[in-house]
Amino acid sequence: MRVERIWAVYWSATGNTDKVVNTIAEALAKGLGVPLERKNFTRPSERAEDMTFERGDLVVFGMPTYAGKLPNKMLPYVQQQVHGNGTLAVGVVTFGNRSYDDSLAELCAVLEADGFHTVAGAAFACCHAFTDALADGRPDWDDKRQMEDFAARIADKVKEAADIPVPVAVPGDPAAPYYVPKGTDGQPAKFLKAKPQTDLGKCTNCGACARLCPMGAIDPANVALVPGTCIKCQCCVRKCTKHAKYFDDPAFLSHVAMLEQDFAEPKENEVFL
């Protein structure tokens, strides 16, 4: 099959999915000798318009795993405003060293429903958004090597394909329920209403957290206020150069402690073609 352009398309609150998708897309563009374009739809302003692709495109589409599935607040945009039109696609999810559960299956199913033809899928372990204690430093150089090898195999598959391939088979159930976070006591940890706090002694009110928030939840006039919906993505915590943002919700902290206790063993990446 002839590919004329590679697209790197992603939602990435803390930057890890950005790194993974772009590494794969760059290697694919180089391997196939075609141009690369990028579409980051993380911030609200970047979701103002529809995304439409066409035959001849190959889209590397990436999202992180939230509670074993895709971020539910982002699904309406992907389902309603992204149009494949027969485009080839590679579904990529990242996960914070616990498990990607059903997120890759969900992503591939959504892409197929949007008019894409999925030719490959992958799940890459990355540093957990909640804590550096899980997969610290990942994606690392070895992960990058695996991404580039994955891209080379995709390029070979596409070159050899005479017709549209059958959808890639990946593990998981797109309709499965979300993973239920637990605390150190083994009971469900309920922190849906938790919001980031601000250390006013460190905050300079630069407004970066408000500008970067994927949900537009932080008040730009007073960044200590979070009147909008917070999805606990940790963008404000991770991107604040003054380390002024933090979470202090007891249930949330108990869940983080449980993750650090039970999921410290490094997880392997998984790819499917």
Q: What is the DSSP string of 143-199?
A: HHHHHHHHHHHHHHHHHH-SSPPPPPP-SS-TTPPPP--B-TTSSB---TT---EE-
Are 204 and 159 members of one domain?
no
d(CA 69, CA 179): 8
At 153, the amino acid letter reads R
Segment 74-131, tens digit of pLDDT: 999 999 999 999 999 999 999 999 999 999 999 999 999 999 999 999 999 999 999 9
What pLDDT is attached to residue 1? Answer: 85
Are 66 and 27 members of one domain?
yes
Segment 124-153, tens digit of pLDDT: 999 999 999 999 999 999 999 999 999 999
Are 35 and 154 members of one domain?
yes
Are 155 and 71 members of one domain?
yes
Domain span at residue 206 reads 197-248
Ranges of the chain whose pLDDT falls below 70: none
CB half-sphere exposure, 204, CA atoms < 13 A: 6
Q: Is residue 241 part of a domain?
A: yes
CATH of residue 202: 3.30.70.20
Q: Which position has the token pair 């999925």?
A: 118
Beta strands per DSSP E along 43-149: 51-52, 57-64, 82-83, 88-95, 117-125
Structure tokens at 178: 């979300």
What pLDDT is attached to residue 69? Answer: 98
What pLDDT is attached to residue 75? Answer: 96
What pLDDT is attached to residue 162? Answer: 86
pTM of the model: 0.97
Q: Is residue 244 part of a domain?
A: yes
Dmax (CA) for the chain in angstroms is 62
Are 202 and 173 members of one domain?
no
Are 201 and 173 members of one domain?
no
Q: Are strands 117-125 and 270-272 parallel, antiparallel or unpaired?
A: antiparallel
Are 135 and 231 members of one domain?
no
- DSSP 3-state assignment of 112? helix
Secondary structure (DSSP) of 220-255: TT-TT---S------HHHHH-TT--EE---HHHHHH
Are 173 and 201 members of one domain?
no
* Burial (CB count within 10 angstroms: exposed 0-12, middle 13-18, buried 19+), residue 35: exposed
Are 97 and 61 members of one domain?
yes
Are 119 and 78 members of one domain?
yes
Element (H, E) at 9: strand 5-10
